[in-house]
Chain A
Amino acid sequence: MGRPKKVFYRRRKVCKFCADKIDYVDFKDVKLLQQFIPERSKILPRRISGTCARHQRLLQTAIKRARHLALIPFTTD
C-alpha cells in the first residue's frame, strides 16, 4: 500500500467567553485579560484565540480600559 495517510487534527477553537458564559468583560479582571495579551502585550487576535466577534469587541474595550489604569501594560520592552 501507499504511504499512510497523514491526518491533521485541528483543534476547533472555541470562544472562551461563550464557553464560560461571560457577557460582560470587566476591565478589573486582570487575570482574565492577561490570557489575551501575549508576550508583547498586544491584544491577541481573534484568529488565534478563537474569540467570537462580539466578545473580542468587549475584550478590546476592557483591555484598553485596564491599560489606562496601568493594570495591564501597553507594551513590553
Chain B
Amino acid sequence: MRTYELMFVVDPRVADEDVVAMTQDYRHMIEAGGLEITKEENWGRRKLAYTIDKMNEGKYILFYIQSQDGTTKLHEVEHRMRQNDKVLRFLTVRTDLDLKRAGSRVSVVEPPMPATASPAASPAPAGPPATPVTAGSPATAAPTAAPAAPYPPGPTVEAASGREE
C-alpha cells in the first residue's frame, strides 16, 4: 500500500466555490483511477512566500491519497494540473516509506484553520493563520514587494546585511 500527499496552490482570484468545484474535479479523477482519498484539507487563502506570476497569495488544498494495489494514476492528475493555469503549484509526495521508517515519531502538523471568509480585506487578507508563517522573513519582504518587480530593492536589504557582520 502506498500513500501520497498531493498539495496544490490555486490562484487566489478563483472564487471559493470554483476552488471547491476544482477540488471535486480532481477528487473524482483520483478516485476514478482506483485511488482512495483518505483526507482532504483546505488551508484556505494563505500568503505566498514569494510572488508567483505577480500573485502574493494562494489557496492551498491538500489531499492524502492511498493506493491499495500500488498502481498510480497520479501522473494524469499532475498532467491536468500542469495544463490548468489556475493551479500555481502542485507537489505530490510519496509518504509511505518515510512514514514507515519513522514509525510513530512524526512531527505533528496541525492544519492551519481555513481562512475566515474575508475575500477582499486588505490589512489581513490571509487571516490569523498566516501571521505565524509570515512572522519571519516574508513579512519584511511583503511591504516592499512591488507586484511588477521580482527583486524589489528594499531598505531591509541593507539592514539585514549590516547585521550579518
| Inter-chain contacts of B153 with A (CB < 8 A) | 77
Which residue of B50, B60, B88, B91 contacts A73 across the interface (Cβ within 8 Å)? B50
Give bound CA distance, A30 to B156, whole Å. 23
Given contacts A74-B50, A76-B141, contact A40 B58 (CB under 8 A): no
Give bound CA distance, A74 to B51, whole Å. 11
Q: Which of B7, B137, B152, B156 has the most CB of A within 10 A?
A: B137
In the complex, which residues 143-159 of chain B have their Cβ closer than 8 Å to any Cβ of chain A?
151-154, 156-157
Please choose the segment from B70-78, B97-105, B114-122 that sits at the chain A interface, where 4 or more of its residues have CB less than 8 A away: B97-105
Is B50 within 8 A of A34, CB to CB? Answer: no
Is B160 within 8 A of A76, CB to CB? Answer: yes
- Interface SS, B side: mixed
| Inter-chain contacts of A27 with B (CB < 8 A) | 91, 93
Is A77 within 8 A of B91, CB to CB? Answer: no
Is B136 within 8 A of A24, CB to CB? Answer: no
Number of A-B contacts (CB under 8 A): 93
Residue B140 CB within 8 A of the other chain: yes
Give bound CA distance, A77 to B157, whole Å. 5
Given contacts A73-B141, A76-B141, contact A23 B101 (CB under 8 A): yes
Residue A72 CB within 8 A of the other chain: yes
Is A29 within 8 A of B107, CB to CB? Answer: yes
A59 to chain B, nearest CB (A): 10
| Inter-chain contacts of A69 with B (CB < 8 A) | 7, 9, 60, 89, 91
Residue A67 CB within 8 A of the other chain: yes
Residue B32 CB within 8 A of the other chain: no
What are the nearest 6 A-B pairs in CB distance?
A: A23-B102, A24-B102, A23-B105, A70-B48, A76-B137, A73-B49
B residues adjacent to A (C-beta < 8 A): 5, 7, 9, 48-50, 52, 58, 60, 62, 88-89, 91, 93, 95, 98-99, 101-103, 105-109, 132-133, 135-138, 140-141, 151-154, 156-157, 160, 163-164
